Structure formats: structure tokens, C-alpha cells
Structure 1
Amino acid sequence: MSEEVDRWFLAEVLPLEAALVRFLKRHWRDPHEIADLRQEVYARCYSAALNARPLQTKPFVFATARNLLIDKARRRRIVSLDLVADFEGLNVTEQDLSAEARLEARDQLRQLRRAIASLPPRCREVIMLRKIEGLPQRAIAERMGIAEGTVETQVCKGVKMLAERIFGEDRQAAARADSYHEHANER
């Protein structure tokens, strides 16, 4: 499955790169974030294609880019938790969540930790710096003493591997559940 998605990605998504970069530059104010935004679009497209490839690639890629920009703009309007001095004043506690929601969140966190731990060391470090700490590609490259292109490659590789591990487990669990229900209905 992932080989088919790889071929699709190389043949249909990557040729749109110049147009995608122009779109991002036209609609995003910070030119330093364009490479990161492009990578995020690629990661979202690839992850979605693991479930089902779109019928029309170009509209899908640009809709994904538009949605990413909308998500980023919304997040920027939300007050950063770093700026909130009194966390107790927020009145949000773990007890406010249902037991099922807490269990599901813990399970998802465990799954993510396992997936990150399974990445190759350099890839894991790049992913942690980029996706967890939020450092820009240039800062990561300088910090690790590698080229910016290498950072970009490692982010792409890491996101792809994480998607395969996380969503692959979900697909396997869904297949097991479907199989169980089929056998239960036969009885």
C-alpha cells in the first residue's frame, strides 16, 4: 500500500511543488515558514492518501494547503498557554474529562510515544525539535550541524513513518474488529 502511495506522491504531488510554493507565498505573511508549511501539506496529503487516494490530486493538494493555512491562522489567534500566568484560573482539570476520554487520550499518547521512540535517532531528534519544540528548519539545521535540506528530508521521512505506525495500527485494529464482527454474524 505505501509503495503505491509513494509512487502516487512522486508522480502527482511533487510536480505541483512550484505552484504550491507560489500559493503559500501568496497567502502566508512569513516567508521563513513556507518550507515548513510545504512539508506539512506534503505530510497531510501523504497521510490522507494512506487511507484513500484522492480522485483529483491538484484540487486535493491545494485544499489541503488552504485548510492548513486556516488552521495555522486560527491557532495564532488563540492565546498561547505560555502567556497565561494563572493556570488554576482556567478551571480546567482532568476530572472535567470523562473516564473514556482520559483513557483514550492516554492510549493515543502511549501510541505516539512508541511511534516516536521507534524512529531512527537523527530522524527522532529532528521530529522532536521541529514538531514538539516548534523550532524552524533553519534553527534545527544550525543546532544539529546539518543542511536545511537534510532537516526537511528527515521531517518528511519521520512524519511518513509516524503516520504509517499510528494509522497503520488503527487500520490493523479496524480490520481485526471487522473480522471479529463477520465471524460473530456467521454464528
Structure 2
Amino acid sequence: MLSLSHVPDLELILLINQEEEQAFTEIYNRYWEKMASYAVRLTKSEEEAADIVQEIFVSLWNRRTTLTVKSTLGAYLIRSTRNLCLRYIERNIHTGDFLDKITEQAVDNSLNIEESISLKELQENIDLGIAKLPKKMREVYLLSRDEQLSYREIAEKLNIAEGTVKKQVSNALKIIADSLNGKLSATMMAIFLHLLK
């Protein structure tokens, strides 16, 4: 059995289209840890995070012959993870202890979620804020959030200083938060900040 560890993601997708189980295993080994770590950060639940990642890979295999990925595979899998985490949050948002965990005591526990804005609308507003970022800052931000690359990995990829990457991400978060100012309740803003960090 040949190792696929050096095969590019695009080729792995083509192999999966041909029902190559080894290619699927390679994608799983390449991305599951990053996806699980991200899911734990969003859901605050290792058990739920594991279920989410498993659900994504089951879906991936079920769609193996028709799977197409328009962005990079890493971005696709992280976006899938985020979407399932948002669904989990939506299902549990009115549970008191869940709200306490997800806001990490950032807001007064007596505050309620505004019914006027759903998490889908929140994501849409975040996307609009991202679209307003300067091109280079947006590229750095998306590598950090969609690809889940570390500051060091982004610095190496873009050939810039690690400190520059950190500053760009920090500035991007401030710009996005400012663009949402007045559109969200304090609780929704806390959830927004939680989703982005």
C-alpha cells in the first residue's frame, strides 16, 4: 500500500471520486484533529465535537462519487465544521448552562437572546464584515479562520512576519466587530466574539 501523505488535496478528492478508501483515510488523518479542536472551541463539548467531525466524514464518504470542492479542502472541512457547530448552538442556545459556557461569562446571565436575529443572520453579518476588509487583511483572516492555520503557518505561506499576521487578524476582528455594532444584543455579540476567537 503506497503512502498518500504527500499527495495534494485536489488529487485526494479525485481519488475519492473513484471510491479510493485510502484517499479518504488520508483526508481523515490530515484534517480530523484540526476539525475536532475547532469544534471543541465552538461547542465547549468534546463529545459533541467528536460527533460533529464524524458526521462530516460520514457525509463526505456518502457523497464520495459526486464530491466537488470549490475552495481548498481545508477551508471546506472547517466551514462544514462551523456550520454543524452553529446548528448545535441553535439547538441548545436557550439552555442556561450552555449559554453560560459559550459566552464564557462575558455577559450578565440575566440577558436573553434576541429573537429578532438568528445565528444564520449573525453569520451573514459576519460575512459582510469580512467582505469589507482590505484585501491582504482579508486573506490573512481567512487563512486563520477558514483554514485554521497558525500565525506561524500563515507567515510562512505569505512570506511575512508572524507579528504582522497577529496584528492583521486582531485588526480584522475589530473591524468586523465594529461593523456589527448596534446590530446585535450584548449576548449575541458575546457569541459572535466566541465564534471568531
Shared topology, TM-score over 0.5? no
TMscore range, shorter length: 0.3 to 0.5
Question: Comparing both structures, which one devotes a greater share of its residues to helix?
Answer: 1
Q: What is the TM-score when the length of structure 2 is the normalising length?
A: 0.39
Larger Rg: 1
